[in-house]
A = this chain, B = another copy of it.
Amino acid sequence: MKLSDFPQEVQDEVATTRKIVCDLHQELINWGLVMWTAGNVSQRLKSADLFVIKPSGVMYSELTPESMVVCDLDGNLIDGTRKPSSDTASHAYVYRNMPDVYGVTHTHSTYATAWAARGEEIPCVLTMMGDEFGGPIPIGPFALIGDDSIGKGIVDTLQDSKSPAVLMQNHGPFTIGKDAEASVKAAALTEEVARTVHIARQGAIYSKVLHPTKHKDLIKIPQEMIDSLNDRYTNVYGQ
């Protein structure tokens, strides 16, 4: 099936979505989340079982709305002059299995990937983590690219979690949202909390090793306070 076989409404939403997804890739650069051609963002359509994603291995400075690729929910190419991102199958698996998700972002952002290399979840010790993630950022399984393993690992980890982010072991973060922008925001905040909590922990080594009587470790936030933060943020924050 070709894009021209779809109703005009779908073709119009594809055009709008190509622009949105292209612009959001620039946010990955703006916030320092990607190197060279790594990373990708997609958004699912409301009007058809299709999604728009980045082409594979293209420099960010060369991305245009027209270069964005349209795939169906099995990851088949529907429209576009380029090969879709090599992570397309993982995005498609998420959309097939999480019907409320309309945006997916993947990066290898530095600090988040460092936690992933140890397979260690990020503990919730910041109010901004309570706001956005509602608890720790969990680890997903080690999985190779090429089949549904990565997609399945994302879905298995996130479907019972408040967190919109999973750190795939040895690989990097995948984030989800109600649209592509929400998933990119989650990717930006994932890196920020990965970095802040890393630095907070490293600072605790100093007093432990040099001044043990004045030792200061991370201070946990009680779960009911995390729930309160997450509830307010989800229901009150923003316009």
Contacts and interface: CB of A to CB of B under 8 A. Distances in A.
Nearest to A56: B238
Interface stretch (A94-102, A112-120, A158-166): A112-120
B35 A225 contact: no
A130 B197 CA distance: 27
Interface in A112-158: 113-115, 117-120, 125-128, 142, 144-146
A21 B199 CA distance: 31
Contacts of A195: 110
Interface residues of A, number: 67
Nearest to A214: B120
A141 B197 CA distance: 19
B196 A56 contact: no
A108 interface: yes
A110 B196 contact: yes
Given A110-B192, A119-B219, A210-B205, A128 B57 contact: no
Identical chains bound together, number: 4
Given A31-B35, A56-B237, A126-B170, A199 B114 contact: yes
A15 interface: no
Given A117-B218, A126-B117, A144-B225, A204 B206 contact: yes
Interface stretch (A1-9, A43-51, A70-78, A228-236): A228-236
A83 interface: yes
Interface string A16-36: 000000000000000100011
Interface string A151-191: 00000000000000000011110000000000001001100
18 contacts: A56-B237, A57-B237, A111-B199, A113-B200, A115-B203, A117-B126, A117-B219, A118-B216, A118-B217, A118-B218, A120-B207, A126-B170, A144-B229, A146-B232, A198-B199, A202-B206, A205-B205, A208-B209
